[in-house]
Chain A
Amino acid sequence: MPNEVTHPDSAPRQTTGFAARLLAEAVRVHEEARGAPMHEPSADERACASAGDLESRIVERARSLSVAPALQRALAHLRSATQAAFAAALVGALVAGAGAARLVLGAYGEGSVNFFLALVSLLGLHTLMLVVWLIVVVFQPGSAAASLLGSLVLRLGRRFTRWLHSGPVELVALRASGEVLAGPTIGRWLLSAISHSLWLAYLVGCLGALLLLLGTRQYDFSWETTILSERAYVTIARIIAAPVDALGFSVPDPEQIAASRRTGAGQLFAGRASWGELLVGCLIVYGLVPRGLALCVTAVALIRARAGYRLDLTRPGFARLQGRLVAFARPVGVVDKEEPAIAEEGRPVAPATVIDGPGPIAIVGLEVEPPQEGWPPAIPGIDWRDMGFAEDRGDRQRVVERMASADPAPKAVAIVCSLAATPDRGTAAFISTVVKASRAPVLLLATQGQRLRERSPLGEVEQRIADWRQLAVNAGIAPAQVIDVDLDHLTTDSRRRLARQLGPTSDVGTPPQPHSGRHLGQAFDLIVDHASGWRKEPDAAARAELHRAIARLWDAEEGGGSAWESLLRIRSWDLAKPAESLTTAADRVIGLLPVRLRLDPRWLAAGAAGGALACVAAAGLLAPAAIAALPAWAGLGAALTALLPKRDAGKDAAGEAGERPDFTAAVDAASLFAMLLELQGRDETTIGRVLDAAVGDEEEHRPLADAAAVRAWLDDLRTRFDAALAIEGGEA
């Protein structure tokens, strides 16, 4: 970003003439050929310092680049070569004009000169070209095709340059000047001006030769005709002669005209002086004057076009410079006064108090919504005293008063805060007030962790939790009494844990079951069994059957209330709208995946499929008869396909059919499902961590094509899973 440091209001220097702009264009062409703009910070700085608009800065930058002198030299070469070509062409035109005049007047002694034929020969082409030019300029301005001669000259100039100096810089200069000079604004006037100049030279040559010849030789002028009448000719001659006469030349009068008609050989012609002067006069009036006027007009237009030439700033080569040359904004810096740093007093860390004995626990919600699962949260064995929600100042005061006057006095106070909110000083102030006002230990329950995880990446989540802990500790809560529990998504496990922390003598219900991993092994065996029965890739029905079988393993144990259903949030399966239930379950499973796996398309597909099929499995366990109905199956297949990310579907459809069947997708989904069932009851961070560790980084994706490969892969998976679970300990 450019730093605008100095004099922002100084007037821009007037150095942007046409030559400077041409250089800027050449630099642009050079940078385009190179592929990227030149990286010369000194040039950029000078450009910024020149403080004009974008165009003048671009010009200044072009001038300051290291390649500028070479480009300027090349442009100068081109200019001089073109001038040389132009001069040569002028000379050629002059000579051509003289030659034409000579030719038209004929050799000495050949007899009389046919006046009108001579006139038309000399002026005909010129007039025609002039008229064509006029028409083109008037009716199709912008077309540079108006003058062939002009473009011929320019081309000649370029050939010269290429021939004399060839090199990449030369090429760039040629292309740039070609674009500018042949472009719509300048090109048409430049080419026309060259063209008019050449014609003018030709006519001057004609005139010069004519004067010389007429002056030194004696010519007779006559005219003849086959189809036109004499009167017509006389009229024509007089019309032509009128302006010439006005200029002061002597012109033949009607008798002389009539008398000059050629009747036969050996005629005597009179009035040759008048005819001669008429010829010269016509050349001037109908040749030199119009061309001269046209030349003046185009020259003026050319000068104005050159002066008015502006860079087209929407060209990519220029537009991309805007970022470095023109600041959008100029930083002003820090404006408040320096303050003495407040020394952070070392606060004594409050010791953890054991919450013992019977008694209610006061609970207050600080700027949180009532959780979906009910308020106060249903924790086995805890007697809550609801202090309400503290949303504003009045609420806070009331809560503190209520707590002070509560009878019987609560044995502990739980403040519920949202992890999704930013911990600020106001919250800290309230927590301190509560700590000071209550004699019982204060706990902080930080909820809505799930929402936070959905919103932010993992690093930020951990930072936020740490910030809340720090805030709580600073406000006087013991570190051990800051508990991360998501009240929106309570699981049996998390309830038990919370209950234990709120009082060991509370009735905590049945002790947790040891995680033996028995079921996971059985589940994996099931998968291998099914896989050995598959000849090609299993369809939706077969996969759902596999998932149902796996689910039955756990269901039998729990005997009824399926905790995994609540883990996967499968409420009821609406037969009429399978798509929605499937989508919810699929999203849920994807949500449980750690970030790394979520980004991997293979596991993303496995998660979606696993969730959907789990939903089907749940429904199958509830109402097997309904599922057997054929229409539902058809809908299921379609719903599943619609659900899976395109990659998976694409692979299936593109069909490496005929090759070895690929069971990977089915096995992925089933094993993921089994692992989730094994992990049910734990909190979601633990689930995420275990899955992350269990699923290794498989660089090469070997398709699992038969039961043996499936067995091998599942064994690997199981080993890693067990290791990860051991790290987590019996309970997180």
Chain B
Amino acid sequence: MKNAAGGPPKLVVAVVGHTNTGKTSLVRTLTRDARFGEVSNRPATTRHVEGTVLLVDGAPLVELYDTPGLEDPMGLLEHLESLRGDRRCDWIDVIREFLAEPAGGPFSQEAKAIRQVLASDVALYVVDARDRVLGKHRDELEILGRCARPVVPVLNFTASDEARTAEWREHLARINMHAVAEFDTVVLDETSEQRLFEKMRTLLDPFRPTLNALIAERQRQRDGLVQAASEMLADLLIDVAACRLLVPEQQIDERDESLERLKRLVREREQQCVNALLDLFRFDGAEYAADDALPISGGKWGSDLFSPASLREFGIRAGSGAAAGAAAGLAIDALAGGLTLGAAAALGATLGALWSSLGSHGRRLVDVFQGFTELRVADETLRLLAARQLDLAAALLRRGHASQDKLRLTGEAEAARSPWISAPLPDEIAEARYHPEWSRLDGSAGGDAPVADRTGARDRLARRIAHIVGVPSARS
């Protein structure tokens, strides 16, 4: 089917398989649309052929059709054989005769699926890799083989412990199907989608340009996502690291109030970042009930940023610098702690940064003379913040759009991805500490002039984060 505009030809794909193997989930994941069709564990959930078109740069390139599952392939094969009888005609003709039968017969569901296969360029045969290889699967492949269309088997649930991937591959190889794709719609491996398209490309030569365009587009989008997510995290970290509240030395009540205020500001900022990330990855409110493999639930972090339990959960040691009466996570900083020019120089700050930090030190001197101290967010909270958000970003990048399971139990394995749990925090964050004007948390801060230094630091930090987040997870 040629594209109207003369671009690459449009590819029509039928997604078929035994009932309840994850066909609809596969289509959901490929289209990033969590509301396509219906997914449940019951047989014959999908009853109709439903289609969707993948857009690349706005142009429709690939049509995907989700079909009802094949429930009784053995019966269908017998029926086809009886239809053929003793004649010596091609199987494809027999199948067309079968499809021409009046609707409402015992194999109407199968008929819909097969009709779609005949109308498509390629069929993706989805298999639950946890099932054994049974006679009914062989019969299904037999039927598909008679439809005269290229078939790409897709093994689903390959990340599960029960998956029998090797068994399936061997069996498929025996019937000469070597281009087998693996997928797991619950735990999405970043590269498995690309490999699926690549396998399709080997079987469909005329559609090479289409699949190439699709692969390139997905890669671009993923890079864009990584980039944007990294910038969001970098913004968050700089805002929180640079934030400080001035508190009069003497008044205890005001100090507690300011503590609470700072905590509230930081929590809100974190929630903003979470919302932005969810938006970025196209998760909307309807999915919160089913956002399982994410470390958050209901779109919010369950544990409080400032509680010692949260720190322990991520294996972060609480610092000893918490002042008496202050909850963990905040540092009431006597000015002397930050006022060393040597430290600023050690940051490798440029002349300009040195100048501005001198300026800010000057301001801080004034503050101290007026009897104020600074209230800032402590290092371990920054680590926790970084670890949690990195966790979330990584989970979002890896997660498929079809999962419906419930809570994860621990965050430790994933949090190991953050290298800042025990290692020193990156320079840019340390630099942000010296520039309270970089923080946008205070409503009044921010001013009108853009702060060029902040942009530079933010971009560097974003690059670091992109390295961590963008690395595909190592999967055996």
Contact = CB atoms under 8 A, between A and B. Distances in A.
Interface of A: 1, 4, 8-9, 32-33, 35-37, 51-53, 155, 158, 162, 171, 174-175, 178-179, 182, 313-316, 319-320, 322-323, 326-337, 339-340, 342, 367, 369, 391-396, 420-426, 429, 451, 455-457, 460, 463-464, 467, 599, 604, 645-647, 650, 654
Contact of B55 (A314, A330, A424, A654): A330
A339 B19 CA distance: 20
A425 B71 contact: yes
Nearest to A154: B449
27 contacts: A53-B58, A175-B449, A182-B452, A322-B280, A323-B282, A328-B54, A328-B55, A329-B55, A330-B53, A331-B33, A332-B51, A336-B112, A336-B116, A339-B103, A392-B138, A393-B74, A394-B135, A395-B135, A396-B74, A422-B41, A422-B42, A426-B75, A451-B162, A599-B409, A604-B409, A647-B313, A650-B312
Sort A-B residue pairs by CB-CB distance and give the 4 closest, nearest first. Answer: A392-B135, A319-B228, A332-B51, A329-B31
A328 B134 contact: no
B275 A8 contact: no
A175 B450 contact: yes
Contacts, number: 199
B256 interface: no
A314 B449 CA distance: 22
B287 to A, nearest CB: 12
Interface range on chain B (Cβ under 8 Å from partner): 35 or more
A425 B446 contact: no
Contacts of B272: 35-36
A422 B52 CA distance: 26
Contacts of B450: 175, 178-179, 182
Interface in B30-44: 30-33, 35-36, 41-44
Contacts of A326: 55, 58
B58 to A, nearest CB: 7
B448 A174 contact: yes
Interface in B78-135: 78, 103-104, 106, 108, 112, 115-116, 130-132, 134-135
Given A158-B449, A335-B51, A645-B410, A316 B41 contact: no
A599 B407 contact: yes
Contacts of A33: 440, 446
A463 B116 CA distance: 30
Nearest to B76: A426
Contacts of B447: 171
B266 to A, nearest CB: 13
B231 interface: yes
Contacts of B275: 36
A343 to B, nearest CB: 10
A647 B411 CA distance: 12
Interface in B446-474: 446-450, 452
A319 B448 contact: no
A448 to B, nearest CB: 11
Contacts of A53: 57-58
A463 B41 contact: yes
B412 A455 contact: no
Nearest to B406: A457
A463 B231 contact: no
A467 B138 CA distance: 25
Interface string B46-60: 001111111101101
B42 A37 contact: no
A336 B46 CA distance: 12
A319 B75 contact: no
Nearest to B103: A339
Contact of B48 (A319, A329, A336): A336
Contacts of B138: 392
B49 A328 contact: no
B23 to A, nearest CB: 13
Interface string B9-43: 00000000011100000000011110110000111
B306 interface: no
B367 interface: no
B180 interface: no
A460 B276 CA distance: 33
Contacts of A451: 162
A521 to B, nearest CB: 34
B98 to A, nearest CB: 15
A175 B446 contact: yes
Given A175-B448, A426-B71, A316 B276 contact: yes
B135 A393 contact: yes
Nearest to B223: A314
Contacts of A429: 72, 74-75
Nearest to B45: A422
Given A393-B78, A395-B135, 19 more contacts: A37-B279, A175-B449, A178-B448, A314-B231, A316-B229, A316-B231, A319-B228, A323-B279, A323-B281, A328-B31, A329-B33, A340-B104, A392-B136, A393-B139, A423-B43, A455-B162, A457-B405, A599-B407, A599-B409
Contacts of A314: 224, 227-228, 231
A423 B72 CA distance: 11
B407 A316 contact: no
A367 B130 CA distance: 13
A314 B77 CA distance: 53
B82 to A, nearest CB: 13
A335 B20 contact: no
Given A178-B448, A314-B231, A424 B19 contact: yes
B168 interface: no
Nearest to A145: B352
B58 A320 contact: no
A423 B452 CA distance: 64
Nearest to A460: B41
Interface string B125-168: 00000111011101100000000000000000000101000000
B41 A320 contact: no
Nearest to B281: A323
A53 B58 CA distance: 7
A659 to B, nearest CB: 16
B68 to A, nearest CB: 9
A602 B5 CA distance: 63
Contact of A339 (B30, B55, B57, B108): B108
Nearest to B448: A174
A502 B96 CA distance: 48
Given A319-B228, A329-B54, A422 B134 contact: no
Contacts of B35: 1
A376 to B, nearest CB: 20
B132 to A, nearest CB: 7
B414 to A, nearest CB: 14
A660 B64 CA distance: 64
A429 B110 CA distance: 15
B101 to A, nearest CB: 12
A313 B18 contact: no
A719 B312 CA distance: 36
A325 to B, nearest CB: 11
B49 A424 contact: no
Nearest to A323: B282
Interface in B244-290: 268, 272, 275-276, 279-282
Nearest to A342: B104
A334 B50 contact: yes
Contacts of B132: 367, 369
B235 interface: yes
A7 to B, nearest CB: 12
A52 B58 CA distance: 8
